[in-house]
Structure 1
Amino acid sequence: MTESVEAHRAQPRAGVLLVNLGTPDAPTAPAIRRYLREFLSDRRIVDLPRALWWPILNGIILPLRPRRLAKSYASVWLEEGAPLLVHTRELAEGVARELVTAGLDGVPVFHAMRYGNPSIASAIAQAREQSVRRLVVIPLYPQYSGTTTASVMDGVFSALSAERWMPELRSVHAYHDDPAFIHALADSVQAHWLQHGRGDHLLMSFHGIPQRYFDAGDPYHCHCHKTARLLAEALALGEDDYSVCFQSRFGREPWLQPYADERIDALAARGVRQLDAICPGFAADCLETLEEMAQQYAEQFQAAGGKALRYVPALNAQPEHCATIAQLAARQLAGWQPTAIDSELIAERVQRLPTSGG
């Protein structure tokens, strides 16, 4: 009997795939160059004409930028590997435990990176080996953007294009206003305040995208502001108690504003001395949160006259975050995990249906 026939006879299962952005395999220039080549070749990320973009990417960025970034990555690298990968793996493990607790045992949870390793294709291969015929895809971006969520789905469909027997798919579009997500964010801020004291102001910083992407219809800007508003309401913050900004801009064209570095300088000039900062668009800590926000911007804030910028860590694999993602998965799994009672009810209904003869 061939392996394919055995696969056809296996009991089909439902599974969950969590996908994050990606990270180099090591904090070295060659590994960073491989990662950046894949990342910056995605048309969802950079939509410039290839004739214009390729000389910039291959002639300027890839030869020079990886060497500069190696030190930054090394400053946040964990013993177990890249922070983004470590926290995403732990989140997947936590979500699997939450699903078992909710009675959805037997649902495997996989994790992958849109760029780098483990790849989406490798995760889908694992799912196939475990007889997963129904797959819930959860891009780990609370706020939808074509540069993130849509790109993940591009990667999923690209990987599935090589499959003879594609699984049935469901996906989570966004969860920027999900009550459990907002509650988890608010609890993380309150825990930070309990441990360190409450600062003078809360900065909510999101990753930026080019302004023209938003002008073309990308809802990301609106999703970010709704997350910020709901989080402020959950924390009972007034309009002067918090700010929204966007970080990590790249290139010379306008990106979403206000820019984080300019906002930080303005807050210091206004007299804010203790500045708390959270990045609600990042499901797991990474270079942008641990090095850019917690290190670079903290130094900039002090240089501008502030006393301290204290970063509130991402939700990572905190229990409330695991429960939040598990709830998102459970909603999508509804109807895919029939119980014994469900099967009996279906059987009874079939018996009551009129026959087609006569």
Structure 2
Amino acid sequence: MRNNQKIGVILANLGTPSEPTPPAIARYLNEFLCDKRVVDLPRWKWLPLLKGIILPLRSRRIAENYRSIWTAQGSPLLAHSLEQKQALQDYLSAQRLNAQVEIAMTYGEPSMQSAVKNLLNSQVERIIFLPLYPQYSSTTTAAAFDAFANAHKTQRGLVPFEMIHSYHLDERYIDALAESIKVRLKEDEFLLFSYHGIPLDYEQQGDYYREHCRQTTLAVVDKLGLMETQWAMTFQSRFGRKEWLQPYTDKFLETAAEQGIEKIAVVCPGFASDCLETLEEIAQQNRDYFLAHGGKRYHYIPALNATTKHIECLGQLIFKQLGEHYE
């Protein structure tokens, strides 16, 4: 018998602009890039550059990228997040857990404040906060927790809560990844694991994101039975002049054909939902880049999104956090 305590669940992700227009993207980027977890430069140096150059230029360019992937339901990230919310709600209900699931973005809408408010208005007695980042990073997981904490600043009575810190080696997560790859990977294809990058100095200051990525990759490689010559791990989406985690995805693709890798499949295990970065940068831009440098075939393996095994993984992470009274 399940404990009848009402549980609130927050699925947290990075965020998305409300529409594919330069003004909407500028608002979103301003919130995102003003977070010191993301860019740790001194404000006097960073803000004039951000406001005067980066936002005006990048907003116009990124608007074109967003328009190429925008759906009738809005941004892909939001559409997938809504599907995940409903699927997890259905799963927990089927498991007889008295729960209410909300989605929240660290930046943009639906906001963390609205998710917390909805749960408190529903009188939940406990909150499970689940950032949808399997591999911990201060730039993602910690930033999401900051937003969660800030959403409680005006609350006199805090509802007991727990955060699921990471799940990079969770057995169900690894199984879901491996199965998703196995049904899409052709025998003659090289498998590239590409993760979002972070500046190298963040790692030097204590961020252990690379190690989590490495552990996830090796677990999936072992599950698939791949040899060392059949896969690699890289990092994507760097910007600015700092050195970021290497090897860089685009640089790897530039020389892959020279190394005899002409057919490649790319998977991004750090993304629980497909978004601009996976659908436009990885699936489109990097495909064109690889083919222009001698590659013969390239395809992107989608994120887990709202697939059955992914939802079961998230559901069981919640039950594990709740403890034995909910088993």
Asked if Structure 1 and Structure 2 have the same fold, meaning a TM-score greater than 0.5 normalized by the shorter chain, the answer is yes
Report 1:143-182 matches (<5 A).
143-182=135-174
SS of the residue corresponding to residue 90 of structure 1 reads: helix
Letter in 2 for 1:40: L
Does residue 229 of structure 2 align to residue 240 of structure 1? Answer: yes
With structure 1 as the length reference, what TM-score do the two structures score?
0.88
Q: Which residue of 2 aligns with 1:138?
A: 130
The question of whether the paired residues in 1 share the 8 Å contact of 2:190 and 2:264 is answered with: yes
Q: Which residue of 1 aligns with 2:322?
A: 333
Report 1:263-342 matches (<5 A).
263-334=252-323
The question of whether the paired residues in 2 share the 8 Å contact of 1:181 and 1:324 is answered with: yes
Report 1:72-111 matches (<5 A).
72-104=65-97, 106-111=98-103
The question of whether the paired residues in 2 share the 8 Å contact of 1:271 and 1:306 is answered with: no
What is the deviation of 1:199?
A: 4.0
**In structure 2, C-alpha distance between the alignment counterparts of 1:70 and 1:134, rounded to whole Å:** 39
Query: Does the C-alpha gap of structure 1 residues 156 and 336 become closer, same or farther in structure 2, counting only changes over 3 Å?
Result: farther
**In structure 2, C-alpha distance between the alignment counterparts of 1:251 and 1:39, rounded to whole Å:** 15
**In structure 1, C-alpha distance between the alignment counterparts of 2:32 and 2:16, rounded to whole Å:** 10
Query: Does the C-alpha gap of structure 1 residues 88 and 199 become closer, same or farther in structure 2, counting only changes over 3 Å?
Result: farther
What is the deviation of 1:335?
A: 5.9
Deviations 1:246-303 (A, max 9, x none): 0000101100000000111221211222100000000000011000000000000100
The 4+ residue runs of structure 1 with deviation greater than 6 A are none
Q: Which structure: larger Rg?
A: 1
SS of the residue corresponding to residue 62 of structure 1 reads: helix
Aligned residues between the structures: 324
Q: Which residue of 1 aligns with 2:207?
A: 218
With structure 2 as the length reference, what TM-score do the two structures score?
0.96
2:219 to 205, 230, 233: 230
1:257 to 232, 246, 249: 246
Query: Does the C-alpha gap of structure 1 residues 168 and 180 become closer, same or farther in structure 2, counting only changes over 3 Å?
Result: same
SS of the residue corresponding to residue 125 of structure 2 reads: strand
Q: Which residue of 2 aligns with 1:17?
A: 10
The question of whether the paired residues in 2 share the 8 Å contact of 1:14 and 1:108 is answered with: yes
Q: Which residue of 2 aligns with 1:117?
A: 109
**In structure 2, C-alpha distance between the alignment counterparts of 1:240 and 1:70, rounded to whole Å:** 38
Letter in 2 for 1:81: G
**In structure 1, C-alpha distance between the alignment counterparts of 2:25 and 2:78, rounded to whole Å:** 15
CA root-mean-square deviation:
1.4
* 5+ residue gaps, structure 1: 1-10, 339-358
State which drifts further: 160-169 or 149-158. 160-169
**In structure 1, C-alpha distance between the alignment counterparts of 2:275 and 2:8, rounded to whole Å:** 26
1:49 to 42, 45, 65: 42
Letter in 2 for 1:314: A
**In structure 2, C-alpha distance between the alignment counterparts of 1:337 and 1:233, rounded to whole Å:** 32
The question of whether the paired residues in 1 share the 8 Å contact of 2:15 and 2:105 is answered with: yes
Letter in 2 for 1:66: S
What is the deviation of 1:102?
A: 2.4
* 5+ residue gaps, structure 2: none
What is the deviation of 1:12?
A: 6.2
SS of the residue corresponding to residue 151 of structure 2 reads: helix
**In structure 1, C-alpha distance between the alignment counterparts of 2:165 and 2:208, rounded to whole Å:** 12
The question of whether the paired residues in 1 share the 8 Å contact of 2:319 and 2:326 is answered with: no
What is the deviation of 1:165?
A: 1.9
Deviations 1:136-169 (A, max 9, x none): 0000000000001011110000000111222111
SS of the residue corresponding to residue 81 of structure 1 reads: coil
